[in-house]
């Protein structure tokens, strides 16, 4: 029974969004069932499409896993998008300058992404902890900086010979690409890394003193102090871990997907990660299936214009509708929760959206 | 306005907080609701005031059944509740808090609201500055603000949940006068308390609850012993503190000064010996808590020395002081003592400094279950902190104290607790003196200060204005020291 | 227990998908094979009609580059009874979760026997997709990988290139601008910087200078400014905003804007200024219908007509005679706007005066009979180095790969 509530929390907005999308499809004169069928076929219907979906899934999952840590610490790490970009840039730097066998390059580019994303998040953390700059604003600002830096590098120091285009750098040497097999684009290395990250975050939050203390810091900073928890250190650590995982996602975006640095390497996977974590009720164990759904839509929706001739914006609209329903539903739940919790002081994250399931399992 | 509750049931999981409650309150009366902590009083009142929806049962107001699904609904029907900790928004000014939830949509008529606020204040002789910051108000003044607001919103039934905890004696006198005046105007007042003498002083009729049920009604006056028996089933003996041989000098505070926005402490010096109990008396916000927080490393002192066992500790953070044996329990149990959303088991794990990196949850749950039983906490190891009643929160906080301490500091250790719980708390605390632990506590309960302290420091405006041996003084003198000085200074 | 419940949600989500798939599963499942045998499909193509893929970098209705390709695809459908599957807005900003090669792969999996990848930006994806599907013919338009004499040959048996000789179109555009300008200042709204775009800016400049000096007899040098936005079209937050850049040109004194980008901002901005009473004109680019948005200030549009070249490729695929070549097709000088024959054309706009129109015809006739050849030395680059020595006629390679903008053009070369 314990899974009923989180399941409903995730499924109700998804079903709502699907119903709304069916309506939309009818309005544009497309057969909604054919469209949904295409979505499914285009995302999981063949080895190739499943492989594309998994490729998108990997980076969403990594970003979301990092966000579980920061959300649990009570932080709205909106800057995750910038941390992915920072990780991409760092990985691109290594891929462009270091030569080595594939295995070495995998490790080096991933380390670079971890460091790049972690440091970028640490910046937001220092602004928050020492500069009293709300992490939402700090994060948004740093995302803008990271994104500008990527564009600058692409049309500046890292541009293709004789070319100044924001389209991207030269492709990395093949040794820096994440290895794949056959015509499938997904790298098993990336999938393993993502799965390990989710499992690690799950056990860290559930089974370790660190995770418990982080949760205490996130729920009630003042009580955490009286439990003897060095809260500044914990907040910064949460930022670093969240940023490192986002940076890892950035690495995989450039070494396993684009194979070069592009001006928007994150593909909004950070923002999607936030959505995934909200739907997951901040629990690592729900990330994988929810991210899979988002990845399937992102990848499968390109089939609608391809095969039905409907406008190619429809996939984006579908995603937008989903976001809207999550927020609406979340707001509705928060209002209900608010009535219940009004007598106490609800923690900041919880008041904005869904209450976490009762203790012991997070 | 007359009020009737019929067969109210409210369960939280397996806990039957209200189990078929019937209660009638006549218009223009003051009705006492007595019961020990966890008896279900607060739950019942939250049902009545719209915070909780009852599982079943009816609320009938002047003969009509009403349904209040939110506090706003309830106040719309004329039911207003004053909470144990008044729900004010600290960052806002007094008048903004007053205007909160005001009827009439988005447009606020500030000028007329301000005039109405001043009228209400005048009627009940509240001296509240509308533009002051709410943060600067004492708990008593926050109550006044809340009462003014509820009346302005049209409350005809006023519920007060343990209103006298945390306020000073003069403020209590003023509160009671206000309540009497309201009852004379035809208002129904429900007074939730476990303090017999207050109920005796105020109420015409009393309902006693125990373990989620009503165990009896009584018309006042009724002998106190009879009420106590209804509350606890058997008469309770108040345990006297046994004197104990004091040890060597333990804590030496010299010329301590702390600067905070609303209060500064200057040149405060105290010596405390091992095993000694120091009571801090004074009106709320006179510097008692600031002093303890400075010693605990939670606020940084601007100057002076703090020595523990001859070692300078001023400026060290609390988490380091914890390891040398200093612990501090705040008054806001859920605000800064416990963590909402975490279970009792998780609290015990958090408080245990020897927890390994990988937590063994099965063992932890067993330990927590044992501790829950041993400390008479009404709740389960997997209950979340916020599900506990005030008294059980305090039991949990005490159970989480480190086993060996040099110095324990507490704000209002028995605030909101019934006699039985308070006795239990003090028996636990006094036991610690045998290990040489010194105790410093702040309280507004003069009996408590006199009964358990060796020495009492009386605070006023950031200074210790007198220091008395508890055995050499009595309630009158202490009340004079606290209240008399106030009169002189006003 | 807890783990299992996580898995169960995953399964439920999958199951929901599977059910949906079953509910609409009348599809033939052609996606299952990743690389269909090229020869087989090529032989069956003739019988049941060719199925080809078209990957567009921008929207299919951009009234520019992408629409020109899209309409060429429709032309193939008409001419051959072929079936087009297309996806537009294939770029990292609009389609973040698919790469070009994945889209090409999707099309191949859907049964496409020929795929057009229609942007310079698709080089990496085109090479990868062609490499992974060696039996499927593909065309990377505007590219140079199949040109053995090119600077970056990457020969693949199944990846050819097609491009139009737009230099001529740009010369005409430049000429029309130079004939019309009242301020003597012309601006060029550039996309990103590469060999192709430098080539086209230089062509426009050469045409403009020629007409400025020879037909108008001006002795003061013509002002010719280029500014680049960073990509083929506006990507908010990444590129410069072309509307702002175009407004900047007008503020800086230019009265004719030549567009080098895929979309129509130059004409839009000039149109707004003209509505406000200013004497300004624009020359759009890429698509023969581009002037329709604001004909009265449009001097004309140089456009690509991809249809004939694409038709030739499609026929070769049907016949099984496809070979990967690099083709750079010129205009049909006998009939510049003949959609059956020309690769590049120029449609005059209403903004061009009757007098200037006949002067432009004179210029075009000179280009046609080769009495006017503007890629002849002496020509210098911006930094003063020699591009073409006195009397030297440029080779194709020299035109294709111009390393800098020419002396006289204001604006960055890279």
Residue B407 is part of a domain; what is its CATH number? Answer: 3.40.50.300
Q: Does A have 3 or more CB contacts under 8 Å with B?
A: yes
pLDDT value of residue B108 = 60
Q: Give the best residue of A72, A228, A231, A237 to mutate against chain B (max B CB count within 10 A).
A: A228
Q: Which of C88, C110, C192 sits opposite A167 (nearest CB)?
A: C192
pLDDT value of residue B255 = 92
pLDDT value of residue B479 = 73
pLDDT of C410 > 80? The answer is yes
In terms of CA atoms, which chain C residue is nearest residue A51? C102
pLDDT value of residue B85 = 65
Q: Which of A212, A215, A223 sits opposite B338 (nearest CB)?
A: A223
Decide if B189 is inside a domain.
yes
Decide if B239 is inside a domain.
no
Domain limits for position A278 = 49-352
Backbone angle region of B62, left / alpha / beta, with phi > 0 → left and psi within -120 to 50 → alpha: left
Decide if B440 is inside a domain.
yes
Give the residue, B477 or C230, on which the prediction is more confident. C230
Q: Which of A220, A230, A342 sits opposite B339 (nearest CB)?
A: A220
CA C150 to chain centre: 19
If asked whether residues B307 and B219 sit together in one domain, one would say: no
Whether B69 has its CB under 8 Å from any CB of chain A: the answer is yes
If asked whether residues B412 and B274 sit together in one domain, one would say: yes
If asked whether residues B144 and B91 sit together in one domain, one would say: yes
Whether B341 has its CB under 8 Å from any CB of chain A: the answer is yes
Whether B71 has its CB under 8 Å from any CB of chain A: the answer is yes
If asked whether residues B471 and B357 sit together in one domain, one would say: yes
Q: pTM for this structure?
A: 0.78
Provide, for chain C, the percentages of residues in helix, strand and coil under a 3-state DSSP scheme, each rounded to the nearest 5. 40, 15, 40
Decide if A278 is inside a domain.
yes
Alpha helices (runs of H) in chain A, residue ranges in sequence order? 4-27, 32-44, 47-72, 80-97, 102-129, 135-155, 188-207, 209-219, 221-226, 231-253, 269-279, 284-300, 303, 314-341, 348-352
pLDDT value of residue B231 = 75
**Which residue, B46, B60, B138, is CA-closest to B94?**
B138
Backbone angle region of B296, left / alpha / beta, with phi > 0 → left and psi within -120 to 50 → alpha: alpha
Q: Which CATH number do you get for residue A281?
A: 1.10.3470
Of B163, B197, B232, the position where a domain reaches its end is B232
If asked whether residues B72 and B16 sit together in one domain, one would say: yes
pLDDT tens-digit map of C113-136: 999 999 988 999 999 999 999 999
Q: Which of B46, B69, B336 sits opposite A223 (nearest CB)?
A: B336
Q: What residues of C are in contact with residue A303 (Cβ under 8 Å)?
A: 106
Give the chains touching B; criterion: ≥3 Cβ pairs < 8 Å. Answer: A
**Average pLDDT over every residue of C352-363:** 95
pLDDT value of residue B210 = 81
Decide if B478 is inside a domain.
yes
CB contact under 8 A, A40 and C20: yes
Backbone angle region of A268, left / alpha / beta, with phi > 0 → left and psi within -120 to 50 → alpha: left
C-beta atoms surrounding C408 within 10 Å:
17
**Residue contacts between A and B (CB atoms, under 8 Å):** 105
If asked whether residues B228 and B264 sit together in one domain, one would say: no
If asked whether residues B331 and B221 sit together in one domain, one would say: no
How far apart are the CA of A224 and the nearest CA of chain B, in angstroms?
8
C-beta atoms surrounding B373 within 10 Å:
10
Decide if A71 is inside a domain.
yes
Give the chains touching A; criterion: ≥3 Cβ pairs < 8 Å. Answer: B, C
Decide if A168 is inside a domain.
yes
Sheet holding B64-66, edge to edge: B15-25, B3-12, B56-61, B64-66
pLDDT value of residue C11 = 41
Look at chain A and report how many structural domains it folds into.
Answer: 1
pLDDT tens-digit map of B317-366: 999 999 999 999 988 888 888 998 899 999 999 999 888 899 999 999 99
pLDDT value of residue C29 = 35
Decide if A286 is inside a domain.
yes
pLDDT value of residue A166 = 86
Query: What is the full per-residue pLDDT of chain A (362 aa) written as tens digits?
Result: 455 666 666 677 778 877 888 888 888 787 888 888 888 888 898 888 899 999 999 999 999 999 999 999 999 999 999 999 999 999 999 999 999 999 999 999 999 999 999 999 999 999 999 998 999 999 999 999 999 999 999 988 998 888 888 888 999 999 999 998 877 889 999 999 999 999 999 999 988 999 999 999 999 988 999 999 999 999 999 999 999 999 999 999 999 999 999 999 998 899 999 988 988 888 898 899 989 988 998 888 888 877 777 777 777 777 777 777 776 776 666 555 544 333 333 333 332 333 233 233 22
Interface of B with A in 379-408 (CB under 8 A): 382, 384, 386
**Which residue, C288, C285, C295, is CA-closest to C201?**
C285
The CA distance from A225 to A217, in Å, is: 8
Q: Which of A118-122, B171-175, B321-325, B399-403 is the least confident region?
A: B171-175
Decide if A33 is inside a domain.
no
Decide if B266 is inside a domain.
yes
Confidence of residue C5 (pLDDT cuts 50, 70, 90): very low
What is the dihedral sign for C-alpha A289, A295, A301, A302?
negative
CB contact under 8 A, A307 and C34: no
Q: Does B have 3 or more CB contacts under 8 Å with C?
A: no
Look at chain B and report how many structural domains it folds into.
Answer: 2
CB contact under 8 A, A298 and C97: yes
Q: What residues of C are in contact with residue A302 (Cβ under 8 Å)?
A: 87, 95, 97-98, 103, 106
Decide if B237 is inside a domain.
no
The CA distance from A27 to C359, in Å, is: 52
How far apart are the CA of A113 and the nearest CA of chain B, in angstroms?
27
Q: What residues of B are in contact with residue A349 (Cβ under 8 Å)?
A: none
Q: What residues of B are in contact with residue A216 (Cβ under 8 Å)?
A: 339, 342, 350
pLDDT tens-digit map of B8-33: 998 876 667 888 899 888 888 899 99
Decide if B244 is inside a domain.
no
CB contact under 8 A, A222 and B336: yes
C-beta atoms surrounding C319 within 10 Å:
12
Whether C233 has its CB under 8 Å from any CB of chain A: the answer is no
Decide if A30 is inside a domain.
no
If asked whether residues B172 and B260 sit together in one domain, one would say: no
If asked whether residues B176 and B202 sit together in one domain, one would say: yes
Domains and CATH numbers, chain C: 36-141+306-329 (3.40.50.2300), 166-304+340-410 (3.40.50.2300)
**Helix (H/G/I), strand (E/B), else coil: A81:** helix
CB contact under 8 A, B71 and A207: no
Domain limits for position B69 = 3-232
Q: Look up residue B343 and give its DSSP letter.
A: B
Give the residue, C31 or A26, on which the prediction is more confident. A26
CB contact under 8 A, A305 and C87: yes
CB contact under 8 A, A345 and B335: yes
Mark A100-124 as b/e (b = at least 16 C-beta within 10 Å).
eeeeebbebbbbbbbbbbbbbbbbb
Q: Residues B2, B29: contact at Cβ < 8 Å?
A: no
If asked whether residues B138 and B201 sit together in one domain, one would say: yes
Confidence of residue B107 (pLDDT cuts 50, 70, 90): low
Q: Residues B66, B77: contact at Cβ < 8 Å?
A: yes
Decide if B171 is inside a domain.
yes
CB contact under 8 A, A163 and C235: no
If asked whether residues B92 and B193 sit together in one domain, one would say: yes
Of B232, B265, B287, the position where a domain reaches its end is B232
């Amino acid at each position: 029974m314990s899974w009923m509530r989180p399941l409903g929390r995730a499924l109700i907005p998804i079903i709502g969004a699907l119903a709304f999308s069916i309506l939309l499809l009818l309005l544009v004169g497309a057969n909604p069932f054919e469209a949904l069928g295409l979505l499914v076929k285009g995302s999981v219907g063949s080895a190739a499409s499943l492989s594309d979906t998994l490729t998108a899934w990997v980076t969403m999952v990594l970003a979301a896993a990092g966000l579980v840590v920061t959300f649990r610490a009570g932080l709205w790490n909106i800057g995750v998008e910038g941390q992915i970009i920072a990780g991409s840039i760092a990985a691109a730097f290594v891929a462009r300058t270091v030569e080595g066998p594939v295995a070495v390059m995998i490790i080096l580019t991933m380390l670079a992404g971890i460091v790049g994303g972690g440091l970028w998040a640490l910046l937001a953390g220092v602004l928050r902890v020492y500069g009293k700059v709300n992490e939402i604003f700090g994060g948004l600002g740093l995302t803008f900086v990271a994104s500008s830096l990527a564009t600058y590098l692409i049309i500046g120091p890292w541009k293709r010979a004789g070319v100044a285009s924001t389209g991207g750098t030269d492709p990395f040497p093949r040794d820096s690409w994440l290895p794949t097999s056959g015509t499938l684009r997904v790298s098993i290395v990336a999938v393993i890394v993502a799965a390990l990250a989710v499992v690690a975050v799950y056990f860290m939050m559930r089974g370790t003193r660190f995770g418990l203390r982080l949760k205490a810091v996130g729920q009630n900073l003042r009580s955490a102090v009286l439990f003897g928890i060095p809260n500044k250190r914990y907040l910064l650590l949460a930022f670093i871990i969240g940023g490192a995982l986002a940076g890892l996602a950035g690495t995989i975006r450039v070494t396993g997907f684009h194979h070069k640095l592009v001006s928007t390497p994150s593909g909004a996977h950070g923002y999607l990660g936030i959505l995934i974590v909200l739907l997951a009720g901040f629990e690592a164990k729900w990330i994988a299936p929810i991210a899979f759904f988002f990845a399937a839509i992102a990848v499968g929706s390109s089939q609608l214009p391809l095969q039905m001739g409907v406008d190619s914006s429809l996939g984006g609209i579908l995603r937008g509708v989903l976001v809207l329903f999550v927020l609406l539903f979340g707001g509705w739940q928060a209002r209900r929760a608010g009535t219940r919790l009004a007598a106490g002081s609800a923690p900041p994250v919880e008041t904005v959206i869904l209450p976490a399931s009762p203790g012991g399992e997070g | 306005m007359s009020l009737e509750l019929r067969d109210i049931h409210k369960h939280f999981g397996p806990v039957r907080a209200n189990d078929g409650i019937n209660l009638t309150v006549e218009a223009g009366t003051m009705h006492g609701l007595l019961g020990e902590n966890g008896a279900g009083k607060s739950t019942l009142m939250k049902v009545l005031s719209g915070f909780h929806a009852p599982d079943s049962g009816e609320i009938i107001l002047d003969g009509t059944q009403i349904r209040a699904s939110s506090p706003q609904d309830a106040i719309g029907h004329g039911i207003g509740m004053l909470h144990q900790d008044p729900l004010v928004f600290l960052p806002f000014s007094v008048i903004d808090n007053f205007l909160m939830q005001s009827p009439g949509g988005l447009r606020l008529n500030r000028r007329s609201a301000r005039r109405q606020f001043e009228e209400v204040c005048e009627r009940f002789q509240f001296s509240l500055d509308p533009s002051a910051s709410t943060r600067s108000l004492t708990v008593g003044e926050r109550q006044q603000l809340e009462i003014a607001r509820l009346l302005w919103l049209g409350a005809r039934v006023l519920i007060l949940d343990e209103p006298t905890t945390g306020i000073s004696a003069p403020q209590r006198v003023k509160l009671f006068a206000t309540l009497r005046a309201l009852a004379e105007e035809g208002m129904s007042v429900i007074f939730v308390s476990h303090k017999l003498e207050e109920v005796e002083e105020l109420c015409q009729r009393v309902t006693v609850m125990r373990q989620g049920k009503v165990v009896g009604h009584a018309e006042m006056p009724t002998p106190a012993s009879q009420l106590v028996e209804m509350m606890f089933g058997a008469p309770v003996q108040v345990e006297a503190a046994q004197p104990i041989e004091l040890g060597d000098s333990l804590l030496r505070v010299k010329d301590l000064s702390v600067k905070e926005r609303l209060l500064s402490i200057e040149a405060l010096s105290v010596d405390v010996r091992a095993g000694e109990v120091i009571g801090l008396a004074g009106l709320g916000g006179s510097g008692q808590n600031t002093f303890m927080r400075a010693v605990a490393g939670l606020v940084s002192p601007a100057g002076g020395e703090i020595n523990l066992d001859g070692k300078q500790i001023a400026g060290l953070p609390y988490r380091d002081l914890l390891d040398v044996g200093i612990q501090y329990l705040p008054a806001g149990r859920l605000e800064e003592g416990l963590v909402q959303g975490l279970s009792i088991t998780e609290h015990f794990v958090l408080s245990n400094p020897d927890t390994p990196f990988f937590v063994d949850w099965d063992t932890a749950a067993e330990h927590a279950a044992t501790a829950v039983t041993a400390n008479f906490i009404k709740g389960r190891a997997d209950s979340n902190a916020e599900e506990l009643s005030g008294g059980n929160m305090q039991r949990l906080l005490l159970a989480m104290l480190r086993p060996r301490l040099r110095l324990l500091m507490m704000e209002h250790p028995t605030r909101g607790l019934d006699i039985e719980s308070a006795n239990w708390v003090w028996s636990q605390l006094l036991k610690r003196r045998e290990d040489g632990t010194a105790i410093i506590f702040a309280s507004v309960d003069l009996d408590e200060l006199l009964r358990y302290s060796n020495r009492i420091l009386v605070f006023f405006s950031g200074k210790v204005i007198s220091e008395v041996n508890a055995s050499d003084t009595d309630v009158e003198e202490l009340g004079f020291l606290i209240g008399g000085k106030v009169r002189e200074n006003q | 227990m807890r783990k299992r419940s996580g898995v169960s949600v995953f399964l439920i989500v999958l199951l929901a998908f599977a059910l949906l798939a079953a509910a609409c599963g009348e599809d033939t499942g052609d996606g299952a094979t990743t690389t269909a045998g090229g020869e087989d499909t090529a032989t069956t193509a003739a019988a049941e009609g060719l199925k080809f893929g078209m990957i567009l970098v921008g929207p299919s209705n951009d009234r520019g580059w992408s629409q020109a390709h899209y309409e060429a695809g429709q032309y193939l459908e008409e001419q051959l009874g072929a079936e087009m599957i297309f996806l537009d807005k294939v770029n990292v900003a609009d389609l973040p979760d698919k790469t070009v090669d994945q889209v090409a792969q999707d099309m191949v999996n859907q049964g496409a026997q020929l795929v057009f990848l229609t942007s310079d930006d698709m080089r990496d994806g085109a090479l990868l997709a062609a490499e992974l599907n060696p039996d499927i013919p593909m065309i990377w338009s505007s590219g140079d990988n199949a040109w053995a004499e090119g600077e970056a040959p990457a020969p693949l048996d199944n990846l050819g290139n097609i491009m139009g000789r737009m230099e001529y179109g740009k010369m005409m555009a430049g000429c029309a601008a130079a004939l019309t300008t009242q301020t003597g200042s012309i601006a060029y709204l550039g996309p990103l910087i590469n060999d192709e775009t430098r080539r086209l800016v230089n062509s426009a400049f050469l045409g403009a200078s020629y007409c400025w000096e020879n037909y108008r007899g001006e002795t003061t040098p013509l002002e010719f400014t280029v500014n680049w936005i960073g990509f083929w079209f506006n990507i908010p937050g990444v590129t410069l905003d072309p509307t702002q850049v175009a407004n900047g040109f007008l503020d800086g004194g230019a009265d004719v804007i030549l567009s080098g980008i895929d979309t129509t901002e130059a004409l839009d901005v000039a149109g707004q200024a003209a509505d406000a009473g200013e004497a300004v004109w624009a020359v759009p680019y890429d698509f023969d219908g581009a002037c329709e948005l604001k004909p009265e200030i449009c001097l004309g549009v140089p456009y690509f007509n991809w249809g004939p070249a694409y038709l030739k490729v499609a026929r070769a695929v049907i016949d099984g005679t496809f070979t990967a070549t690099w083709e750079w097709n010129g205009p049909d000088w006998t009939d510049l706007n003949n959609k059956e024959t020309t690769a590049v054309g120029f449609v005059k706009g209403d903004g061009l005066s009757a007098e200037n129109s006949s002067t432009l015809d004179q210029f075009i006739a000179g280009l046609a009979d080769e009495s006017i050849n503007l890629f002849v030395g002496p020509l210098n680059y911006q930094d003063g180095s020699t591009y073409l020595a006195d009397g030297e006629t440029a080779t194709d390679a020299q035109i294709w790969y111009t390393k800098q903008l020419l002396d006289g053009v204001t604006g960055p070369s890279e």
